[in-house]
């Protein structure tokens, strides 16, 4: 069997203890473990201590902060809890949907939203056993110095494969990061960068404590679409999240602001330029077509995950248009 | 005459009433509850005192010479107790005795990524893994060949034991005058097909444990489906007499052909146990399961099929290139099967096949459920569908017109007995409402049909001998209980339950009073194993013989006590009863005690060997010949998303002629499991290596090798057809492999009905289906083709 | 079936043929003392931090009902319940179960077979049975949560983490639907 590397463990019960624990050199946080443990079994990291946040009760709450106009989701909330929360589903259907589509039911019972927003990037050449990687001489993200996806590429293009991240970005969410320096807020749109080796701006000793989603002040609609080969277990091979602020709450309302975010392209989720949508009617058939066209034009999948990039690019168009149409149904 | 073990088959007393009280009933499996309670110990659940853990070091190169292995420094590591390499196993072996071309570990060179090179035994897995990582091996990397055509053309010989370069096996057989018949056909369909490799994916990874008893007997517990062949090969490779080796197959977590020959781990644990004097266990990682493979061979097939104007098949010409991977495995048989198993359920006017199996630097292919014949079945059933379309004949009707019949000979001289194929066609036609719906559903929706046949065991024994192919021993005792000793491997298909059902039927015992002891070479008679769908027919016949001998013995004593003719005594529902006077009865315990008092211990054996007159009289004419053939027909209903190419299989109707269904629920389970497995191959599974990355497997995990989940699997409606066969126990034939064959062409044909494109290459992945739809659209736009289902397009969105 | 399948290893009574002692003392990584309630019983077990719950259940506590199929959460054969929630024990650190309640397939059967086991048996829904313990654990948690008769579609959604290679799932779905009726009735 595939064994975990040797490490120690800590199980803090408060945020303070957690901060202290992960300040130790070689410490690494484990939440649901559904992403980290396979990576550890693959010997992609070698932490000296795993710090589990499963006993920090403060991180496991969903709260509606009406004063600040925010939905605050504790990083330790599981994807099942999030997907099944009736209030979240009523107000943030795209987030609820994305959380409920992650991998498989058992993975969602374990995986947390904090883990999902910090999900390590994925690539067909890196999420393999140590033996397998040794057969291709490793890559930029593992033991080697080449990229197998982009020949001669100098930066890692492993794919951001979280379902929830594009949705949260499209909803304008921000993160509360806690570390030895205290807490800071960072917009999710700014949290990711294009280096697949370390694709977030999470500082050393810092962890994500909360995900905050602004409660829309104006009428709005949001949608999420993804393609996987199987209907369960698989990571997304394309994903698209969209959010439209509207002049009124109706299917034929006019779009006043739009945000579309694509996942699974490279390390960074891609927020598209969609100014052309403002002023269009949501249910105008040409709107759905334009949404598809924008995704196709600006989204350029790579061969970093299975199934041909060219096909996946075409599917961006189809799945984006459909996500919008489903929104109206 | 040697080998004639069939004389007493049936074994009923003349004139006796046959009143089935178990055959054909819904049974619970005799061992299912223990499995469900987590009590049965599978191989990895065994733990012996002082047990060491073994890790196999594997080649990261597809083709490389081993210059040196520094075993000594690893052996010096704390906790490491043994290291073996290819030099410890100089004797080559192979499950087919004519092609011994593997060593337990690579001796001079590794032939594929994942080929075993050394094995380490240490006090625990972590220590073994650390030692495996530290083992220094010097390599000289050699050019590798992944493409079979290229490999065939190359002068570099991959497998050092090959006698014909990289050609592993070639078979060319012709029956009738193919070219003449093609010339006189009114319609000739020519097509190229490619069937991608796929693997078994049993949920239990391979595992083996070895221990040397103080008396010197080497015991090997292994997750194998062929304990007997493992026993033979262990003796050969370890150079030990067979009587010093005991092989036990613990309960098995699925096999499907993937555990039907010896693997490196079994030899390694055995050798390391002999070397260290301690028990040794080796459990594969899931990744290693992919390297051990022996799955479905990729096949490139070129077919020409000639029809007369009424759709009768005048000629079939098949040319097949088989990608074998690095070792022969069952390849000799695979190469024959790729042609020999195609000649029913349709009569061919003439037939020729030319199959070549080629060695490549990939994990070796072997037998996967429907060994060798699933791929050509895909080709021929698509050919028939194309022929039907070209001739304007309904595809089911075309198949009917070519029905070969029962009690007949195929063109390659195999004797067919019972044949329920016509009923299979009728059942799927009616259940799917074919007549009302085929060709008439909206654009994007379609139905497809396909048929097939399969063997119930093979007349060809893997090693030639005159001994029985199957044997069973049954003992009774005064407590009213039966013990059944059988070498048969229950791999989840329910063979132990089948044996209990037969003994129950013959002796009137409740299932709970029957203990089946199986697949332990010290306790059980030899059986060849769970492959070729042989167990129900072969072991079942042997079991009927043994049990009916005991039945006669017991009945005789009861009859004499009651002073009535033996034919008046029935053993049923736990009792011996006088049929004419049911008040006269005694419990079976009493009846057995009566017989035991007269005759001593009650025990009987039964044997089975195949009849010797049901195959072709030509070289290779026994390979693929079977005592009895099953028949299957499928209709699949699909919904094709024309914008994405995603194919959703909505429902599959599967009708299977399994002869007499001894236990219908278990038969249905085999049918459903077959459909499921073929469905995965049709749409998503692919076992491939990356040609551009040194031949690494593209995804050796259950994440990247996509096996369908609960949500993906279509509704399956099982329709059992029972055309009893004289050769089978109570008329039973096989059910474990036949029902897989038609699903792949049925889906391809349904896609044609839905959107007018032919999918001739598996898997029918969304990119491929979409590309085909787009190509057709272009042809429609240019006027080259009429729009498919033009009148039925409105209904869709 | 051989004798050994029925017996726990300590009962096998093999003489020890390996009289020679280990050549070197080997230091195991530091073990932690964990206490958890397993199938209703308090147990204490020592295991290093890098052991998964599955490894501790199988190799330390000899609860071999939970199976290891894929190594990393892709097959569901190792499914157990932790504080009533079904999860993959191959991706759960043993320390995460410290102080908690673990339920494995071995805990399902009291005086009688659990309705799920009985329905699975009746439907012949276990062929090789290797995925079955995981299926039972996931299904039990699902039916307990639902507390009513479930549909085939709901079963497929809820069970989509668990692979079965033998059955094509059909009979498993039959069994879970049947069991949901029995369990719902038992509750009322």
Main-chain dihedrals φ then ψ at residue A113, nearest 5 degrees: -65, -35
Local structure of B116: helix, strand or coil: strand
C29 contact A CB<8A = yes
Tell me the CATH architecture of domain B43-142+205-252+259-292: Alpha-Beta Complex (3.90)
Which stretches does DSSP call E strand in B439-581?
A: 445-455, 470-477, 481-486, 514-518, 569-572, 575-578
A2/B287 Cβ within 8 A: yes
Predicted pLDDT of residue B459: 86
Predicted pLDDT of residue C188: 59
| Strand B80-85 to B116-122 pairing | antiparallel
B765 CB contacts (<8 Å, ≥6 apart)? A229, A307, B645, B683, B684
Q: Tens digit of pLDDT for each residue in B487-536? A: 999 999 999 999 999 999 999 999 999 999 999 999 999 999 999 999 99
Tell me the CATH architecture of domain B32-40+468-608: 2-Layer Sandwich (3.30)
| DSSP codes joined into one string, C58-114 | IIIS--TTS--SSSSSSS-TTEEEETTEEEEGGGSBGGGGTTSEEE-GGGS-SSS--
Percentage with pLDDT > 70 across chain C: 84
C32 contact A CB<8A = yes
Q: Which residues of A touch C98 (CB under 8 A)?
A: 11
B702/C69 Cβ within 8 A: yes
| Strand B52-58 to B280-283 pairing | parallel
**Structure confidence at residue C186 as a pLDDT band (50, 70, 90):** confident
A104/C93 Cβ within 8 A: no
Residue from A121, A143, A120, A140 nearest A130 by CA: A143
Strand partners, B514: B482
Predicted pLDDT of residue B617: 93
Residue from B139, B691, B95 nearest B360 by CA: B691
Percentage with pLDDT > 90 across chain B: 96
Q: Tens digit of pLDDT for each residue in B23-48? A: 999 999 999 999 999 999 999 999 99
Residue from B274, B269, B277 nearest B248 by CA: B269
Instruction: Report, in this order, helix, strand and coil percent for chain B, each rounded to 5.
Output: 30, 25, 45
Do C83 and C142 reside in the same domain of the chain? Answer: no
Q: Is C126 contained in some domain?
A: yes
The alpha carbon dihedral of A122, A126, A130, A131 has a sign of: positive
Candidate from C71, C73, C157 with C-beta closest to A1: C71
Q: Is the pLDDT of residue B6 over 80?
A: no
Predicted pLDDT of residue C110: 86
Q: Which residues of A touch B45 (CB under 8 A)?
A: none
Q: How far is C119 from chain B (nearest CA, A)?
A: 10
B693 contact A CB<8A = yes
Q: Which residues of B touch A309 (CB under 8 A)?
A: none
CA B414/CA B405 separation, integer angstroms: 13
Predicted pLDDT of residue A54: 94
Q: Tens digit of pLDDT for each residue in B381-425? A: 999 999 999 999 999 999 999 999 999 999 999 999 999 999 999
The alpha carbon dihedral of A90, A96, A100, A106 has a sign of: negative
Do C101 and C138 reside in the same domain of the chain? Answer: no
Main-chain dihedrals φ then ψ at residue A286, nearest 5 degrees: -70, -25
Q: Which residues of C touch B492 (CB under 8 A)?
A: 127-130, 166
C18/B516 Cβ within 8 A: no
For residue C45, what are the domain limits?
Answer: 29-107
Residue from B721, B518, B487 nearest B608 by CA: B487
A7/C93 Cβ within 8 A: no
Q: Tens digit of pLDDT for each residue in A139-177? A: 999 999 999 999 999 999 999 999 999 999 999 999 999
Alpha helices in B370-420 (DSSP H): 374-391, 395-401
Q: Tens digit of pLDDT for each residue in C156-175? A: 999 999 999 999 999 999 99
Out of C107, C140, C162, pick the residue that ends a domain.
C107
Q: Is the pLDDT of residue B593 over 80?
A: yes
**What residue spans in chain B does CATH classification 3.30.365.10 cover?**
32-40+468-608, 299-459+616-792
| DSSP codes joined into one string, A266-306 | SSS-EE---GGGTTSBTT-HHHHHHHHHHHHHH----TTSS
Q: Which residues of B touch A132 (CB under 8 A)?
A: 287, 696-697, 700
B387 contact A CB<8A = no
Which stretches does DSSP call E strand in A116-203?
A: 174-179, 182-187
Q: Is C14 contained in some domain?
A: no
CA B273/CA B616 separation, integer angstroms: 46
Mutate to test the interface with A, among C26, C86, C161 (most CBs of A within 10 A): C161
A131/B287 Cβ within 8 A: yes
Q: Tens digit of pLDDT for each residue in C72-101? A: 999 999 999 999 999 999 999 999 999 999
**Structure confidence at residue C28 as a pLDDT band (50, 70, 90):** very low
CA C62/CA C60 separation, integer angstroms: 6
Mean pLDDT in residue range A290-306: 98
Of the two residues B793 and B615, the one the predictor is more confident about is: B615
Alpha helices in B165-281 (DSSP H): 178-183, 227-238, 264-276
Predicted pLDDT of residue C29: 61
Helix (DSSP H) and strand (DSSP E) numbers for chain B? 19, 30
Residue from B684, B565, B609 nearest B199 by CA: B684
Strand partners, B518: B486
Q: Is C10 contained in some domain?
A: no
**Torsion angle of alpha carbons B516, B520, B523, B529, nearest 10°?**
80
Q: Tens digit of pLDDT for each residue in B442-486? A: 999 999 999 999 999 998 788 999 999 999 999 999 999 999 999
Q: How many CB atoms lie within 10 A of CB B34?
A: 17
B79 contact C CB<8A = yes
Strand partners, B198: B296
We report the CATH number of the domain holding residue C64 as 3.10.20.30
Predicted pLDDT of residue C19: 33
Predicted pLDDT of residue C27: 43
B703/A234 Cβ within 8 A: yes
Nearest-by-CA chain C residue for B217: C17
Ranges B199-203, B325-329, C22-26: which has the least confidence: C22-26
Predicted pLDDT of residue C20: 36
Predicted pLDDT of residue B793: 84
Q: Is the pLDDT of residue C10 over 70?
A: no
**Structure confidence at residue C4 as a pLDDT band (50, 70, 90):** very low
Candidate from C32, C55, C161 with C-beta closest to A107: C161
Number of domains in chain C: 2
B767/A311 Cβ within 8 A: yes
Do C80 and C122 reside in the same domain of the chain? Answer: no
* CATH number assigned to the domain covering B299-459+616-792: 3.30.365.10
Q: In angstroms, how far is CA A155 from the centroid of its own chain?
A: 20
Q: Is the pLDDT of residue B109 over 60?
A: yes
A136/B696 Cβ within 8 A: yes
Q: Which residues of C touch B675 (CB under 8 A)?
A: 168
B49 contact C CB<8A = yes
Q: Is C62 contained in some domain?
A: yes
The full set of domains in chain A, from first to last, is 57-119+159-214 (3.30.465.10), 220-328 (3.30.390.50)
How many Cα atoms occupy the beta-carbon half-sphere of B486 within 13 Å?
Answer: 37
Predicted pLDDT of residue B19: 62
Q: What is the mean pLDDT of chain B?
A: 96
Q: Is C16 contained in some domain?
A: no
DSSP letter for B535, please.
Answer: I
Do C68 and C125 reside in the same domain of the chain? Answer: no
A132/B710 Cβ within 8 A: no
C126/B36 Cβ within 8 A: yes
Distances (CA, A) of C19 to B264, B664, C13, C150: 27, 53, 15, 58
Q: Which residues of A touch B691 (CB under 8 A)?
A: none
CA B568/CA B696 separation, integer angstroms: 68
Mean pLDDT in residue range A15-36: 96
Q: Which residues of A touch B770 (CB under 8 A)?
A: 311, 314
Nearest-by-CA chain C residue for B518: C1
Q: Is C11 contained in some domain?
A: no
Candidate from B698, B704, B712 with C-beta closest to A231: B712
We report the CATH number of the domain holding residue C139 as 1.10.150.120
| Strand B109-110 to B187-195 pairing | unpaired
CA A56/CA B298 separation, integer angstroms: 52
Q: How many CB atoms lie within 10 A of CB A310?
A: 12
Task: Please give the span between the terminal C-alpha atoms of chain C, in angstroms, as a whole number.
Answer: 41
Q: In terms of C-beta density within 10 A (0-12 exposed, 13-18 middle, 19 or more buried), how is residue B337 classed?
A: buried
Residue from C88, C72, C77, C155 nearest A107 by CA: C88
Q: Is the pLDDT of residue B176 over 50?
A: yes
Nearest-by-CA chain C residue for B717: C170
- What is the value of pTM for the model shown? 0.96
Do C174 and C145 reside in the same domain of the chain? Answer: yes
CA C137/CA C152 separation, integer angstroms: 18
Of the two residues B741 and C11, the one the predictor is more confident about is: B741
Q: Tens digit of pLDDT for each residue in B549-566? A: 999 999 999 999 999 999
Nearest-by-CA chain C residue for A102: C161
A41/C160 Cβ within 8 A: no
Do C130 and C86 reside in the same domain of the chain? Answer: no
Predicted pLDDT of residue B11: 41
Q: Which residues of C touch B520 (CB under 8 A)?
A: 2
CA B424/CA B432 separation, integer angstroms: 12
Predicted pLDDT of residue B8: 38
Q: Is the pLDDT of residue B794 over 80?
A: no
Candidate from B285, B694, B709 with C-beta closest to A232: B709
Predicted pLDDT of residue A1: 86
Contacts with C, B 174-203, CB within 8 Å: 200-203
Q: Tens digit of pLDDT for each residue in B229-245? A: 999 999 999 999 999 99
Q: Is the pLDDT of residue A208 over 70?
A: yes
Distances (CA, A) of B223 to A142, C66, C129, C162: 35, 17, 14, 22
C71/B47 Cβ within 8 A: no
Q: Tens digit of pLDDT for each residue in B702-722? A: 999 999 999 999 999 999 999
Q: Is the pLDDT of residue B354 over 70?
A: yes
**Structure confidence at residue B18 as a pLDDT band (50, 70, 90):** low
Residue from C63, C66, C54, C58 nearest C90 by CA: C54
Q: Which residues of B touch C159 (CB under 8 A)?
A: 710
Q: Is C139 contained in some domain?
A: yes
**Structure confidence at residue B364 as a pLDDT band (50, 70, 90):** very high
B765/A1 Cβ within 8 A: no
């Amino acid at each position: 069997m595939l064994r975990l590397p040797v490490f120690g463990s800590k199980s803090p019960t408060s945020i303070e203890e957690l901060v202290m624990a992960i300040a130790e050199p070689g410490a690494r946080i484990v939440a649901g473990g559904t992403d980290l443990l396979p990576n550890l079994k693959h010997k992609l990291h070698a932490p000296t201590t795993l710090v589990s946040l499963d006993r920090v009760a403060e991180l496991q709450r969903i709260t509606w902060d009406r004063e600040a106009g925010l939905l605050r989701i504790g990083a330790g909330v599981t994807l099942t809890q999030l997907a099944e929360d009736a209030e979240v589903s009523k107000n943030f259907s795209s987030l609820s949907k994305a959380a409920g589509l992650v991998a498989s039911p058992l993975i969602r019972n374990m995986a947390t939203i904090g883990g999902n927003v910090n999900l390590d990037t994925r690539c067909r050449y890196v999420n393999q056993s140590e033996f397998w990687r040794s057969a291709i001489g490793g890559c930029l993200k593992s033991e080697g110095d080449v990229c197998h996806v982009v020949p001669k590429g100098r930066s890692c293009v492993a794919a951001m494969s979280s379902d929830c991240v594009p949705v949260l970005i499209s909803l304008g969410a921000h993160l509360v990061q806690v570390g030895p320096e205290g807490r800071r807020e960072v917009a999710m749109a700014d949290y990711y960068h294009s280096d697949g080796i370390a694709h977030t701006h999470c500082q050393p000793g810092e962890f994500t404590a909360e995900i905050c989603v602004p409660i829309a002040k104006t009428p709005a609609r949001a949608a999420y679409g993804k393609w996987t080969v199987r209907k369960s277990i698989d990571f997304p091979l394309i994903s698209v999240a969209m959010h439209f602020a509207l002049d009124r709450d109706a299917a034929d309302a006019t779009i006043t602001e739009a945000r579309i975010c694509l996942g699974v392209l490279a390390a960074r989720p891609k927020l598209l330029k969609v100014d052309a949508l403002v002023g269009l009617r949501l249910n105008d058939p040409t709107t759905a077509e334009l949404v598809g066209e924008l995704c196709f034009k600006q989204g350029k999948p790579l061969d970093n995950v299975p199934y041909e990039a060219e096909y996946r690019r075409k599917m961006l168009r189809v799945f984006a248009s459909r996500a919008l149409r489903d929104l109206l149904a | 005459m040697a080998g004639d073990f069939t004389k007493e088959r049936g074994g009923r007393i003349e004139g006796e009433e046959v009143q089935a009280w178990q055959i054909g009933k819904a049974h619970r499996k005799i061992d299912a509850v223990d499995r469900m309670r987590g009590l049965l110990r599978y191989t990895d659940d065994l733990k012996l005192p002082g047990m060491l853990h073994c890790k196999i070091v594997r080649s990261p190169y597809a083709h490389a010479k081993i210059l040196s292995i520094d075993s000594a420094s690893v052996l010096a590591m704390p906790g490491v107790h043994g290291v073996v390499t290819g030099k410890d196993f100089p004797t080559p072996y192979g499950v087919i005795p004519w092609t011994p071309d593997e060593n337990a570990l690579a001796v001079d060179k590794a032939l594929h990524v994942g080929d075993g090179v050394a094995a380490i035994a240490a006090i625990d897995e972590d220590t073994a893994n650390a030692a495996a990582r530290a083992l220094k091996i010097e390599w000289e990397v050699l050019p590798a060949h992944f493409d079979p055509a290229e490999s065939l053309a190359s002068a570099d010989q991959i497998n050092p034991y090959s006698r014909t370069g990289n050609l592993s096996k070639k078979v060319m057989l012709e029956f009738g005058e193919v070219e003449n018949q093609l010339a006189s056909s009114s319609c000739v369909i020519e097509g190229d097909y490619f069937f991608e490799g796929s693997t078994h994916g049993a949920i239990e990874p391979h595992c083996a444990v070895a221990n040397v008893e103080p008396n010197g007997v080497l015991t090997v517990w292994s997750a194998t489906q062929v304990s007997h062949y493992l026993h033979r090969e262990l003796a050969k490779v370890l150079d030990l007499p067979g009587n010093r080796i005991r092989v036990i197959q613990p309960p098995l977590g699925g096999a499907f052909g993937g555990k039907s020959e010896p693997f490196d781990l079994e030899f390694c644990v055995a050798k390391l146990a002999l070397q260290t004097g301690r028990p040794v266990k080796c459990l594969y990682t899931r990744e290693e399961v992919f390297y051990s493979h022996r799955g479905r061979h990729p096949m490139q097939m070129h077919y020409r099929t000639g029809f007369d104007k009424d759709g009768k098949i005048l000629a079939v010409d098949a040319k097949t290139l088989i990608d074998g991977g690095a070792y022969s495995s069952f390849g000799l048989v695979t190469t024959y099967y790729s042609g020999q198993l195609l000649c029913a359920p349709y009569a061919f006017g003439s037939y020729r096949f030319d199959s070549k199996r080629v060695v490549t630097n990939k994990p070796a292919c072997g037998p996967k459920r429907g060994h060798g014949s699933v791929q050509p079945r895909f080709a021929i059933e698509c050919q028939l569908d194309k022929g039907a379309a070209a001739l304007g004949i309904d595809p089911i009707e075309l198949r009917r017109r070519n029905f070969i019949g029962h009690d007949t000979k195929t063109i390659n001289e195999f004797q067919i007995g019972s044949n329920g194929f016509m009923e299979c066609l009728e059942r799927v036609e009616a259940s799917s409402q074919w007549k009302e719906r085929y060709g008439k559903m909206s654009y994007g929706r379609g139905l497809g049909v396909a048929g097939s046949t399969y063997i119930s065991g093979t007349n060809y024994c893997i090693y030639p001998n005159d001994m029985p192919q199957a044997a069973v021993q049954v003992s009774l005792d005064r407590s009213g209980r039966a013990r059944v000793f059988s070498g048969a491997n229950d791999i989840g298909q329910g063979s132990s339950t089948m044996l209990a059902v037969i003994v129950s039927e013959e002796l009137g015992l409740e299932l709970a009073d029957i203990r089946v002891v199986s697949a332990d070479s010290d306790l059980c008679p030899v059986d060849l194993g769970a492959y070729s769908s042989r167990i129900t027919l072969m072991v079942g016949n042997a079991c009927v013989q043994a049990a009916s001998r005991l039945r006669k013995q017991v009945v005789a004593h009861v009859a004499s006590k009651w002073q009535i003719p033996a034919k008046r005594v029935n053993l049923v529902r736990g009792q011996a009863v006088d049929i004419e006077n049911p008040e006269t009865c005694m419990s079976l315990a009493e009846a057995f005690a009566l017989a035991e008092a007269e005759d001593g211990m009650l025990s009987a054996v039964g044997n089975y060997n195949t009849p010797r007159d049901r195959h072709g009289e030509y070289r290779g004419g026994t390979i693929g010949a079977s005592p009895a053939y099953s028949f299957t027909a499928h209709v699949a209903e699909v919904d094709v998303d024309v914008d994405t190419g995603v194919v959703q299989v909505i429902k599959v109707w599967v009708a299977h002629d399994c002869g007499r269904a001894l236990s219908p629920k278990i038969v249905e389970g085999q049918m459903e499991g077959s459909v499921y497995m073929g469905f995965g191959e049709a749409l998503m599974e692919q076992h491939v290596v990356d040609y551009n990355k040194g031949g690494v497997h593209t995804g050796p995990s259950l994440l990247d090798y996509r096996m369908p989940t609960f949500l993906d699997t279509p509704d399956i409606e099982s329709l059992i057809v029972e055309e009893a066969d004289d050769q089978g126990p109570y008329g039973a034939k096989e059910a474990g492999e036949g029902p897989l064959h038609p699903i792949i062409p049925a889906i391809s044909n349904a896609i044609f009905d839905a959107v007018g494109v032919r999918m001739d290459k598996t898997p029918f992945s969304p990119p491929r289906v979409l590309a085909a739809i787009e190509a057709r659209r272009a042809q429609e736009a240019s006027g080259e083709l009429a729009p498919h289902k033009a009148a039925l397009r409105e209904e869709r969105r | 079936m051989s004798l050994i399948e029925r017996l726990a290893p300590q009962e096998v009574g093999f003489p020890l043929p390996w009289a020679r002692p280990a050549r070197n003392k080997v230091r195991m990584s530091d073990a932690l003392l964990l206490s958890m309630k397993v199938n209703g019983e308090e147990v204490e077990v020592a295991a290093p931090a890098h052991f998964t719950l599955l490894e501790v259940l199988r190799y330390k506590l000899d609860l071999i009902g939970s199976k290891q199929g894929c190594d990393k959460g892709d097959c569901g054969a190792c499914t157990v319940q932790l504080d009533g929630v079904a999860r993959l024990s191959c991706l759960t650190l043993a320390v995460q179960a410290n102080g908690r309640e673990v339920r494995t397939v071995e805990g399902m059967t009291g005086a009688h077979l659990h309705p799920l086991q009985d329905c699975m048996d009746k439907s012949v829904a276990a062929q090789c049975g290797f995925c079955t313990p995981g299926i039972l654990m996931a299904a039990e948690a699902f039916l307990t949560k639902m507390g009513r008769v479930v549909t085939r579609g709901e079963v497929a959604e809820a069970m989509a983490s668990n692979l079965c290679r033998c059955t094509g799932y059909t009979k498993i779905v039959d069994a879970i639907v049947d069991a949901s009726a029995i369990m719902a009735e038992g509750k009322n």
